[in-house]
């Protein structure tokens, strides 16, 4: 699901050559830089919880190559790659959301259905949280429970810096997205272990 990109243009040999020249004037160094950029892009998409990061990394490279081939002036190639990668990630998310809508068993669209969809997402998130190791779950709960100085104390209690705490929590949260995706796609019933989610209208 969602791995298909909107490719209406394929990377051509001249476009690739132009991109490589832009990466480095010396062919071998350019090839190494190409691999490095691709690796960075894959990691970029992985950090954002995107499925199939290699496909999207290639899509990003292709788009940049195309723009260069079309003569677009790009002053800061790194920043340009970053901007295109963000766009590609956004488009992937939108495609995924659209596919999710299309895959539903019956038509929806009103506020009640939206509320039920949201409830399902939250129930899946609950389920995913409960699947985390207890220590990780406690870290997430503690982080979002605390504010300000209390968060710094939380970092100290774990023997890590405040910055490390922030990035660790962020990675944990983003790591839940894959679980959330699987849960929603599997149509798992919203019955997390906490067992309490009768908010609003539910039968």
Contact stretch for another protein (CB under 8 A) within 19-27, 61-69, 136-144, 181-189: 136-144
In whole angstroms, how close is the CB of 180 to another protein at the nearest point? 9
Confirm or reject binding of residue 189 to another protein (CB under 8 A): no
Give one DSSP letter per residue of 154-198, joined into a string.
HHHHTTS-HHHHHHHHHHHHHHHHHHHHHHHHHT--S--TT----
d(CA 200, CA 203): 10
Give how far the C-alpha of residue 112 lies from the chain's centroid of Cα atoms, to the nearest Å. 28
d(CA 172, CA 180): 13
Contact stretch for another protein (CB under 8 A) within 7-15, 19-27, 63-71, 120-128: 120-128
Q: Of residues 26, 104, 174, 189, which one binds another protein by CB under 8 A?
A: 174
Q: Of residues 15, 20, 42, 85, which one binds another protein by CB under 8 A?
A: 85
d(CA 101, CA 96): 9
SS3 content of the chain, % helix, strand, coil (to 5): 70, 0, 30
Cβ closest to another protein, residue 13 vs residue 134: 134
16: closest CA among 54, 61, 79?
Answer: 61
Q: Of residues 75, 106, 107, 186, which one binds another protein by CB under 8 A?
A: 75
Confirm or reject binding of residue 29 to another protein (CB under 8 A): no
Which positions touch another protein (CB under 8 A)?
37, 40-41, 43-44, 47-48, 75-79, 81-83, 85-86, 90, 93-94, 109-111, 113-115, 118, 121-122, 125-126, 128-130, 134, 137-138, 140-142, 144-145, 147-149, 151-152, 162-163, 166-167, 169-171, 173-174, 176, 192-201
């Amino acid at each position: 699901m969602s791995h298909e990109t909107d490719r209406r243009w394929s990377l051509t040999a001249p476009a690739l050559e132009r991109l490589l020249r832009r990466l480095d004037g010396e062919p071998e160094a350019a090839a190494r830089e190409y691999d490095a950029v691709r690796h960075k892009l894959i990691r970029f998409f992985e950090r954002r919880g995107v499925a199939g990061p290699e496909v999207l990394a290639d899509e990003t490279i292709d788009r940049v190559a195309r723009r260069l081939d079309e003569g677009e002036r790009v002053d800061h190639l790194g920043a340009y790659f970053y901007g295109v990668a963000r766009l590609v990630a956004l488009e992937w998310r939108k495609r995924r959301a659209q596919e999710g809508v299309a895959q539903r068993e019956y038509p929806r669209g009103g506020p009640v259905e939206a509320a039920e969809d949201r409830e399902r997402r939250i129930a899946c998130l609950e389920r995913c949280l409960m699947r985390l190791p207890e220590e990780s779950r406690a870290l997430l709960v503690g982080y979002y429970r605390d504010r300000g100085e209390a968060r710094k104390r939380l970092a100290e209690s774990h023997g890590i810096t405040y910055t490390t705490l922030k990035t660790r929590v962020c990675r944990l949260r983003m790591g839940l997205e894959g679980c959330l995706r699987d849960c929603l796609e599997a149509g798992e019933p919203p019955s997390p272990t906490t067992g309490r989610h009768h908010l609003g209208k539910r039968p």
